[in-house]
A and B are shown apart, each in its own frame.
Chain A
Amino acid sequence: MSTSPIQRALQSWTTRDLIVTAVIAVALGLLYMAYSGLYLALTPILGQVGIMLALGFYYLVGVLTPYIIRKPGTALLASFLAALTELLVGSPFGIMAVWAGLVQGLGAELAFGIRRWQDYRLPVLMLAAVLSGVFAFIYEYFLFSYSALALPVQIGLLLVRLPSALVLAGWLGKMLGDALARTGALRGLAISQTTRQP
């Protein structure tokens, strides 16, 4: 078998990078499944637009994992794995979530790619979260025919999720990453190597 582009990209990854990515993704995937139940229950109360305020949490995995691992492809891989976990543990959103995970991961990956996978400061994390949201919106736009809605509602569906992405994915991703680094569990991973230097 010839080496694929994915395989070449993987050469800079250690086994530990891979397993840690997978563990974070699976842990968050589990959490997402529980969260999806909550999401289903809250939608009738908050409404279709209001519930978008909860959407940012789904973009967390695509921000937190690359913040820790800092290798090209982490956002995409982690986001996809978390969605795959959701499918396999029986999330209500299932196959829909798998493709959504892939699309959201692509959005986040784009943000890190713009900075050549070198910059993991808060503004970049926030950009990753926002692009996840925008990409997810495009996906939903086709899946749920947002085109049939009145234009102000369409804009609402896009805009309402953005503050949520900033807080529940961008800011929370940084907070969680830093908190994990303080426990010492991330020693030897990329996040600790850079934060040690003042």
Chain B
Amino acid sequence: MTPTRRRMVVGPLVCAVVTVVLVAPIVVAVILSFTAGNNLSFPPDGLSLRWYRAIFTSSVWTTRIPVSIQVGLSTALLATALGALCAVAITRGSFRGKGLVTALLMAPLVVPVVVLATGEFFVMSDGWTVGGFTFGGDLIGTRLGLTLAHTVLALPYPTLLIATALRQVDPDLELAAMSLGAGAFSRFRRIVLPLVAPSVLAGAMFAFLTSWDEVVMASFLSSGRVSTVPVQILNELQFALNPTAAAISSLLMLVAILLVTLLTVARRLVRLRQRRAFSSSSSSSSSSRPPTTLGPVLT
């Protein structure tokens, strides 16, 4: 075999193996969730939807699912709003310690979650007193506590995405708007915001997903009454290999896949609208596209 031929065979082969290794457990879990039997064993003993039915009839899950959804949505909203403000500050502002602030905003990406969770646990249970002001306390087992903690974890994603998008907005666009009579608020609302909107949406989605499948922090901050779906899955698996866990995992995944698909479709639509009529002639102001994935941001 020539080196080129070898490369052509080896490359795809490695990809195939890696894909199988990554995807196989997920496929197995999804298949198992449709089992008719009582155990998680492969191959499944016949097929049925009984475990999915069990999810929506068992009180354990019907109390957990709303919590996960509420915490996820609140986290997405809060992290995106805060992230947008942070992004504006670190891209447009000039203040002392900007580098430090930027690094701190990204810290949740690198600090081990267990460390963060331990800190959060004490803040949420006992409160954190600075001078006469106490933050937190009595927040264990509350949706607010979970939301705040998850917001910390999720904040870097919308911040990074929106900051990158803001940097790509041609400064001349804002100057042009200014010369046409637009004040600061109007410039932000009519020029900047629409241009970074796809990244805002993507940031919100990543924030939601961060909360949606987060288990470490949630297990520190959950109580028997208020807990999230991933925590419950972990608990179930500790005692018995119950196919319900496989079914609910499949549902979690389905939500994630739907969200990513939705984002891709939205992105396509935006691009289609901008390129209506003719194919785009290259122009410096319109060729830059705001990032909607973390690829260009994290590498």
Asked if A and B bind, the verdict is: no
